[in-house]
């Protein structure tokens, strides 16, 4: 790697260890697999009488959310507490940034209190990386979603779920359906699937919601839902990002569901043992029918459970924690 490339990738240390987790594209297959393997060892902790391990005891984690998301923040909080970290939740939109103080000023103030890790979410792209580039070497940053850019931990919990139910990525055809254009989740999913060596990735949706030249990302665009789902092993539905849309990018909710909503008939077009996923929150009757969301092929609720284990794994690796199955105290 040349010096400019090394400078650009701030997510790993000089010896290849995880330093920050800002994307799924700047990590090797070995690193992503390491995260999945470690998460697999954490997955049973939710069923234990004592759910904690002392891997981050004495560490302080700040959930710094400039954009609200109760679901994501809560899973990060639970993950950090199960690792025995002290957790501070800050809804920064209600703090000094709304009074004119810069994001970095807010971060510097918190860092002066000897914070060890920031989990950052923002409606603008690049905020987590900006913060990571301005912190001391011993402070870690996790991107919990930034603008349209990336949502890497969501993608990794999706990868964990796919591997759990479907096995070897190299044999799989995966379909990502819906609002590809505005979805940071879709971008991170595509990057992770490519790194992990999936056989084929299809993106399905109306032309107004699929970026031009998306083939350059190594995917196959499909504008017909029935054809796109033919024989796929995993169906990753996306939420329509109404808040990020400009103008009328879908004809109507009824028309969208008619053309791109996931129904039982359409699930039957996929492989017989295909799984159905959705990052939530679900818009029932718009992106997916209730009988599919609650049906036997849906793994939407297990995704939420898996999210805690995956975020525990990422936090542990960033802080250099080691885990053994007997580590709970």
pLDDT score at 40 = 95
| Model confidence pLDDT, tens digit, residues 292-321 | 999 999 999 999 999 999 999 999 999 985
CB 230 within 8 A of CB 220: no
Which pLDDT score, from 0 to 100, does residue 55 have?
A: 95
Residues of the chain with CATH 3.40.50.1370: 3-151+306-318, 152-304
Torsion of CA 221, 223, 226, 232, to 10 degrees: 10
For every residue of 90-143, DSSP letters joined together read EEGGGSGGGGT--HHHHHHHHHTTT--EEEEEESSTTHHHHHHHTS-TT-EEEE
Q: Would you state the CATH architecture of domain 3-151+306-318?
A: 3-Layer(aba) Sandwich (3.40)
CATH no., domain 152-304: 3.40.50.1370
pLDDT at 202: 98
Whole-model pTM: value is 0.91
Positive or negative CA dihedral for 303, 293, 145, 66? negative
Tell me: pLDDT of 285 over 60: yes
Tokens 């998460």 correspond to what residue? 39
Could you report the per-residue pLDDT of 145-181, keeping only the tens digit for each? 999 999 999 999 999 999 999 999 999 999 999 999 9
Report the mean per-residue pLDDT for the chain: 90
Instruction: State how far the alpha carbon of 252 is from the alpha carbons of 150, 180, 232, 239, 257, in Å.
Output: 27, 17, 27, 15, 9
- Assess whether the previous peptide bond of 124 is cis (omega < 30° from 0): no
Residues of the chain with pLDDT > 70: what percent?
90
């Amino acid at each position: 790697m040349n010096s400019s490339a090394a400078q650009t990738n701030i997510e790993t240390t000089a010896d290849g260890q995880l330093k920050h987790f800002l994307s799924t594209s700047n990590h090797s297959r070995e690193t992503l697999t390491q995260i999945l393997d470690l998460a697999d060892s954490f997955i049973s902790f939710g069923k234990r009488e004592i759910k904690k391990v002392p891997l981050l005891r004495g560490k302080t984690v700040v959930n710094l959310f400039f954009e609200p998301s109760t679901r994501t923040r809560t899973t990060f909080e639970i993950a950090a507490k199960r690792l025995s970290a002290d957790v501070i939740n800050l809804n920064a939109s209600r703090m000094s940034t709304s009074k004119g103080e810069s994001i970095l000023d807010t971060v510097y103030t918190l860092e002066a209190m000897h914070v060890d890790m920031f989990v950052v979410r923002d409606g603008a792209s690049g905020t987590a990386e900006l913060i990571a580039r301005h912190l001391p070497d011993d402070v870690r940053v996790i991107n919990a979603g930034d603008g349209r850019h990336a949502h890497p931990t969501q993608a990794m919990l999706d990868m964990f779920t796919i591997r759990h139910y479907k096995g070897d990525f190299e044999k799989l055809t995966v379909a990502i359906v819906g609002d590809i254009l505005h979805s940071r989740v879709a971008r991170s999913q595509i990057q992770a699937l490519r790194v992990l060596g999936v056989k084929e990735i299809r993106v399905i949706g109306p032309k107004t919601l699929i970026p031009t030249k998306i083939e350059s990302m190594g995917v196959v665009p499909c504008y017909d839902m029935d054809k796109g789902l033919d024989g796929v092993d995993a169906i990753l539905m996306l939420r329509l990002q109404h808040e990020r849309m400009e103008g009328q990018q879908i004809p109507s909710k009824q028309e969208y569901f008619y053309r791109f909503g996931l129904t039982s008939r359409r699930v039957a077009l996929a492989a017989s043992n295909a799984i159905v996923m959705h990052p939530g929150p679900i818009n029932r009757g718009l992106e997916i029918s209730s009988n599919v969301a609650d049906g036997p092929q849906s793994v939407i609720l297990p995704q939420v459970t898996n999210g805690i284990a995956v975020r525990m794994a990422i936090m542990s690796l960033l802080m250099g924690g080691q885990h053994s199955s007997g580590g709970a105290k």
